[in-house]
A and B are shown apart, each in its own frame.
Chain A
Amino acid sequence: MNENMGHILTVLIFLPLAGAIVLAFFPGNDAGVRRIALGLTAATFLFSIPLLWGFDVSTHEMQFVERVPWIPSFHIEYAVGVDGISLLFVLLTTLLAPICVLASWISVTARVKEFMIALLVMEAAMIGVFVSLDFVLFYVFWEAMLIPMYLIIGVWGGPNRIYAAIKFFLYTLAGSLLLLVAILVLYFAGGRTFDILHLMGQPYPATVQFWIFWAFFLAFAIKVPMFPFHTWLPDAHVEAPTAGSVILASILLKMGGYGFLRFCLPMVPQASRSFTKFILVLSVIAILYGAYMALAQTDLKKLIAYSSVSHMGFVTLGIFVLNAQGIEGALLQMVNHGITTGALFLLVGMIYDRTHSRQITDYGGIARPMPRYGAMLVIFALSSLGLPGMNSFAGEFLVLLGTFMTHAGLAVLATLGVILAAVYLLWMVQRILFGPITTSDNARLTDLGMREMAILVPLVLLVFGIGFYPDPLLSLMHASVDHLLAQVNAAAPLQLSEVWVRP
């Protein structure tokens, strides 16, 4: 099937990494650096497209697998592969990387080379996270993302960037160290292997399952972020440069959801099933609380950050209702959130480049001088609030459908979140785009240029494409999601009484 593309995943990881190293020794000026970075990320994207053609939708097995021993004495392998759960995230990453480079074209002027190196290292690590089939390899990529992200926020961020960067770093690190402990426990409990596929479906003792579940939960819940672990997110978003916000919102947050799907559910299904109620309630709280907080924000980035908390609540809701509709909806919602929220942050960045303000009150009526901008903001705001015919509708609808089948009451509450989303997003659009122009500076704003349109148009196409016809994406997931559900539903929920009995 895909014999001739045997090393495609390795190429995807190491092309940006090699590019970063080359760039470090590149003597040219900033313009050259930007072009090289764009070329590298675009090439990575082009190389990732064959994944879509070569992907066999009929199987849940890992595809494009490569295995090379790395540290044989610990049975650690360099093992990569994709299935229906990870494929879309890889493509999302490779698609957004060139967009991030383009978005930083003029807004990053200081230390351009270092910025692009950090972006490329980020891209390599993010792809690595989604394709790793070895737990240590996964952890290496998972942690390796932190340093470039810390630097992206800390060096090129806003005035309060140090606080935000260190908070981001320590929150995420705290979560991931529990993950490391869990990985080691699994290594010994699962027969001395770090092979992710091998560690699934093993009969771990109840106590082990219990603790591993909580370690996983903390690590991934901080990343998602779920209420009440979300406090790092608004800070990080507000201070990060545009590209940093896009990466954070579109890809880093998805790693939490991906972690639940790839590790938490299949490895400790019993414990996961016994705590679904708890997570579902937290998810609904996140949906409502995030939306409620978004209503009160005056800073555009903060508003979108809180809307992310709300939208990611749908993701965890969908994952833990444990049916096909819910999980496929959650996966689709993650992709959609990546596209839509990424675009919203890009739009905030574009207006910020012109006025250096993110305060909603500084704007008003700018649809008149900037009609193209107005159109784009309306499109993505409508997409974000889940207007039928646009991408988010499909995902949220599936999640709500899945929830309704098992927990009708929670579904009703979650639907309130959709209504609140309409309120805060439309209200934001109205305050920014319409009404009288308040300052003479705003009247003279220039509309979006070629570069900016080139960034946004592909995303607009995806918004409508997925909105009208999500089936191709869903068909990529079916086999893997069905297999996952079979794994989870075969397990009986853990009885807490088992946990405390000494073996």
Chain B
Amino acid sequence: MPFTFTMTPADVELLMPEILMTGLLSVILFLDFLFPRIEKTTLAWLSIAGMGGIFVLLADYFIEDRHGTLFREMYIVDPMAIFFKAFILGTTILVFLASMDYLKKVPVFRGEYYFLGLLAALGMMLMASVNDLLSMFITLEFSTFSFYILVAYLRDDAQSNEAGLKYFILGVFAAGLLAFGISLLYGETGSILFTDFAKMHAHLTPGLIIGFLLIFVALGFKVGAVPFHAWVPDIYQGAPTPVTAFLSIAPKAATFAILLRIFMATVGDIKGDWVWLVVGISAISMTYGNIVAIAQKNIKRLLAYSGIAQIGNVLIGLAAASKMGGDSVLFYFLTYLFANVGAFAVVIIFSNLTNSDALEDYDGLSRRSPLLAFALLIFFLSLAGVPPLAGFIGKLYVFAAAMNEGLVALVVIGGINIVISMYYYLVVIKRVYINMPKENTPIPVSFPMRLVLFTTVGGVLFLGIYPKAFIEISVAATNLFGRMI
């Protein structure tokens, strides 16, 4: 078959957010090269403004309900893809705001940081539109590559270097598994398009099963679900904290866009064959993450294990394998975004002053900065799922979706996990509010950081108290979701 590449103006329009994003990151890179003495925070504000513009464009696409496929169906734009693209842009904006102060500690290459961040964001935006195995592989590696560099950005810091190397080795290993899985699927079916798989209603052969399992393992690695989670704590701890914040939410969301497409749209009609697998991974991730989190003495590691548990919660929605399950995953990510980025913002502010991530240094935080203490309280309670905060509605949503499919046992396990997680969150809250501080220096909060804190606290409260609008967005996002079960 001769290869012809054609792009109609309509195609260009569908691809416009990514094209603009590419333009934006090129501008940032050139500005940094051409004017070496430019204020790096100017670059950050420029990137934020640019992403804000693209965000508005995406919102417009969402409202107008743009959809279509490109490149022989390899690339799909639908409301769910747009939702995740906007989600990733929002995360990137918050992370950039949170990075400005932190980067003052980095001696060189501060400009490239923003370029790499934009590159990662672009990769993840592309991931949200994946509709075949090859573009899945390429976009996944594309976004991960920027992260390899970002994780090791503190080049004088041994932990950061170690984290970068670990992430690289394990990431490449996962990529190998992914490629192997793809080759098996192609060998069995002769196609790489998700759409084709869905039409085939294929009989499960050993090759197909192994292929799907390999892909599932690779994607499980990306989201950090047990038992593919081993990289998470070390890399969270070693990476620069804003990168950890980025890593803890954006790639996971983008990977879930792919997981939703594969599990629900592609192999949805044989869900009886795979639901038990997701249920098992979900239950293990929640339980393992929460139990191990209890023993942590470093707040970044604590958040890493709590993140593993949160992914277990999101997987409940996937295990429901229904339209409602898909909605609940999207909504849960929204609640997780605000609470998690917010919690990391507190960690960044705290470590900027104290250079410490040790939990014991959080003693008496409420006396040093009532704002930080209150924000951390809100974020942790939301992560634990205490009403009336965002996390409660998120958990209610995934639980309801699972209950609707009769997964009562999984919901009960989820409930028990809330109690376990509450324990370690309470222990931190106890340090913050009840223990006496070792030193009394107040903690200053800069303007960009204030912006992050107010946005995230506001988001957590708003999603908890008046979630109506965002539930409707989540529901609308999966509406056009092709062959959703």
Contact = CB atoms under 8 A, between A and B. Distances in A.
A binds B: yes
A207 to B, nearest CB: 11
A16 to B, nearest CB: 15
Given A144-B386, A155-B433, A184 B403 contact: yes
A71 B423 contact: no
Contacts of A154: 430, 433-434
Nearest to B327: A73
A136 interface: yes
B426 A169 contact: yes
Nearest to B475: A73
B419 A187 contact: no
Interface stretch (A43-51, A172-180, A280-288): A172-180
A71 B471 contact: yes
B434 A173 contact: no
A150 interface: yes
B422 A143 contact: no
Interface in B371-430: 381, 386-388, 392-393, 396, 399-400, 403-404, 408, 411-412, 415-416, 418-419, 422-423, 426-427, 430
B468 interface: yes
Interface string A373-390: 000000000000000000
Contact of B400 (A70, A161, A187): A187
A188 B415 contact: no
A74 B468 CA distance: 9
Interface residues of B, number: 31
A166 B393 CA distance: 24
B312 to A, nearest CB: 16
A146 interface: yes
Given A140-B388, A146-B386, A177-B419, A184 B411 contact: yes
Contacts of A166: 423, 426-427, 430
A416 interface: no
A128 B144 CA distance: 48
Interface-centre pick from B427, B430, B466, B475 (highest chain A CB count, 10 A): B430
Nearest to B423: A170
B467 interface: yes
A181 interface: yes
A136 B396 contact: yes
Given A73-B475, A166-B426, A177-B415, A144 B388 contact: yes
Contacts of A140: 387-388, 392
Contacts of A180: 396, 399, 415
A214 to B, nearest CB: 12
Contacts of B466: 70
A74 B418 CA distance: 22
Nearest to B464: A140
Contact of A71 (B381, B399, B408, B468): B468
A81 to B, nearest CB: 20
A58 to B, nearest CB: 36
Interface in A253-286: none
A413 interface: no
Contact of B386 (A73, A143, A165, A188): A143
B338 to A, nearest CB: 18
A151 interface: yes
B11 interface: no
A281 B411 CA distance: 32
Contacts of B386: 143-144, 146-147
A72 B471 CA distance: 9
B472 interface: yes
A147 B385 CA distance: 12
A178 B415 contact: yes
Contacts of B434: 154-155, 161-162
B404 A162 contact: no
Interface in A352-390: none
Interface in B428-482: 430, 433-434, 466-468, 471-472, 475
Which label, helix, strand, loop or mixed, suits the secondary structure of the A interface? helix
A150 B377 CA distance: 13
A173 B385 CA distance: 11
Interface-centre pick from A178, A184, A188 (highest chain B CB count, 10 A): A184
A151 to B, nearest CB: 6
Given A71-B468, A146-B386, A147-B386, A173 B422 contact: yes
A139 interface: yes
A181 B408 contact: yes
Contact of A72 (B381, B387, B468): B468
Contacts of B423: 166, 170
B467 to A, nearest CB: 6
A162 B430 contact: yes
Contacts of B404: 188
A180 to B, nearest CB: 6
Contacts of B472: 73
A185 interface: yes
A86 B472 CA distance: 34
B393 to A, nearest CB: 8
A185 B387 CA distance: 19
A181 B412 CA distance: 7
B316 to A, nearest CB: 12
Interface in A153-202: 154-155, 161-162, 165-166, 169-170, 173-174, 177-178, 180-181, 184-185, 187-188
A173 B418 contact: yes
Contacts of A73: 468, 471-472, 475
A165 B426 CA distance: 10
Interface string A289-315: 000000000000000000000000000
B191 to A, nearest CB: 37
A479 B381 CA distance: 41
Contacts of A162: 430, 434
Contacts of B387: 139-140, 143-144
A188 B238 CA distance: 45
A235 to B, nearest CB: 16
Given A71-B467, A71-B468, A140-B392, A177 B418 contact: yes
Nearest to B420: A170
A10 to B, nearest CB: 15
A144 to B, nearest CB: 6
B368 to A, nearest CB: 14
Contacts of A147: 381, 386
A459 B166 CA distance: 68
A170 B415 contact: no
A184 B422 contact: no
A147 B427 CA distance: 13
A154 B366 CA distance: 14
B480 to A, nearest CB: 18
B415 A181 contact: yes
A353 to B, nearest CB: 22
Nearest to A73: B471
Contacts of A173: 418-419, 422
B466 to A, nearest CB: 8
A161 B404 CA distance: 41
A70 B412 CA distance: 26
A140 B388 CA distance: 6
A187 B403 CA distance: 10
Interface in A293-348: none
A151 B429 CA distance: 9
A189 to B, nearest CB: 10
A166 B423 CA distance: 8
A464 B181 CA distance: 80
Interface-centre pick from A73, A139, A147 (highest chain B CB count, 10 A): A73
Given A151-B433, A178-B415, 9 more contacts: A71-B467, A74-B396, A74-B471, A140-B392, A143-B386, A170-B419, A177-B419, A180-B415, A181-B403
The 3 closest A-B pairs by CB, nearest first: A140-B387, A177-B415, A184-B403
8 contacts: A73-B471, A144-B387, A155-B434, A165-B430, A169-B426, A181-B403, A181-B412, A185-B408
Interface of A: 70-74, 136, 139-140, 143-144, 146-147, 150-151, 154-155, 161-162, 165-166, 169-170, 173-174, 177-178, 180-181, 184-185, 187-188
